[in-house]
Structure 1
Amino acid sequence: MSRIGRMPIAIPAGVDVKLDGHVITVKGAKETLTREIHPNMNVTVENGEILVTRPNDDKQNRALHGLTRSLIHNMVVGVTEGFKKELEVQGVGYRVQKQGKDLVMNLGYSHPVTMTEIDGITIECPSANKITISGPDKQKVGQFAAEIREKRPPEPYKGKGIRYANEYVRRKEGKTGAKKK
C-alpha cells in the first residue's frame, strides 16, 4: 500500500470540497481550483477528510495512488496558504523590475527580457535582484519560475544568472594560463 496515498487529507475550516464524478473542486479563501482525477482512483469525502483509495494492486494503480493524493493535497494547501518561489538575480548590471503586469529583466543581453504575469500567478520584485512568484497552483508557480530561470541560468564559472533562492551553484575553476615555449 502506498504510504503517501493512504494518508487522509484533512480539510481545514473555510475550505469547501466537491466531487462531481472524476472532477474535484476545492474552494478556499484564496481561489477555486479544479482538477480531473484518473477514473481508476476512488476519492471520498467523509468526516472532514479526503480519502484516496485504489481498486487493486496493478502497477498503474499503485503509481496513481500517491500521485492523486499529492495533487489533491496540493490543491487544499494552495487555496489556504498558496505556494511561493523565490529567485535571485546575480551579476554585474543584472536587475529586474515590475512594470504593471510585466516583469522586465536586464540580463546582459542587448535588449531587456520581458515576461507577462499569467492568470493565477503574482510576481513581486522586493529589490532589484530578487523575484517572488506566488499563487495557489503549485504546478503553475513552479513552471513560471522555471521559465524565468531559463532566460539566464546560472553559469558555473562566475555564478552569474538567475537562480532559486536556496539553489547551490557548483563553481568550476577557470582556465590556467597557457605555457610559453
Structure 2
Amino acid sequence: MSKIGKAPIKIPEGVTVEISERTVTVAGSKGTLFRKIHPTTKVKIEGGEILVSSNAKDKVGHSIYGTTRALIANMVKGVNSVSGCDREVVGQIAANIREVRPPEPYKGKGIKYRDEVIRRKPGKAAKAVGAPA
C-alpha cells in the first residue's frame, strides 16, 4: 500500500464531507468541491477522519489510490483555508495565460511555475560588446 494513501485525512471544524456512491463532496467556508472516485478506490469516514483504501491488484490501481487521497486532502484544505478553493482552476488559469504569452527569455518576465528556471538569452548589447568596429 502507498505511504501517502495510508495516511488518514483529518476533517477540521467547519468542514463537512459527504460520500455517496462514487462521489466525495467537501463543503466549507470557502466553497464546495466534489470529485468522482475510481471504482477500485474506497473512501469512508471514521472518527472525524477520511480513510482511503484500495482493492486494486495492479500498479495503475495503486497509483490512483495515492492520487485520490492527495486530491481529497487538497479539497479539504481548499474549502477551509486557501483563497482559491479549487487548485485545478487556479493552475488552469496560469496555464491558459502561459499558452497565450509564455515567459519572456530576455528579461525573465511572465508567469513562472514554482521551481521553474527560465532560460535567459543575451540581448543585443551583449552581441555589440564583442563586435569589431
TM-score by length of 2: 0.84
The gaps in structure 1 that reach 5 residues or longer are 83-133
Give the partner amino acid of 1:158: K
Match of 2:81 in 1: 81
The gaps in structure 2 that reach 5 residues or longer are none
Measure the CA separation in 2 of the matches of 1:171 and 1:61.
Answer: 41
Report SS of the residue matched to 1:24. Answer: strand
**Poorly superposed stretches of 4+, deviation over 6 Å:** none
How high is the sequence identity, in percent, across the aligned residues?
52
CA shift, 1:159, in A, is 2.4
Equivalent positions of 1:67-146 (< 5 A) are 67-82=67-82, 134-146=83-95
Instruction: Considering fraction of residues, name the structure with more helix.
Output: 2
Measure the CA separation in 2 of the matches of 1:3 and 1:62.
Answer: 11
Q: What is the RMSD of the two structures over their aligned residues, measured on CA atoms?
A: 2.1
2:40 aligned with 1:40 = yes
Instruction: Considering fraction of residues, name the structure with more strand.
Output: 1
Give the partner amino acid of 2:48: G
Count of residue pairs the alignment pairs up: 128
TM-score by length of 1: 0.63
2:114 aligned with 1:163 = no
Give the partner amino acid of 1:151: V
Report 1 or 2 for greater relative contact order, CA contacts < 8 Å, sequence distance ≥ 6. 2
Match of 1:152 in 2: 101
The answer (yes or no) to whether the contact 2:40–2:56 under 8 Å persists in 1 is: no
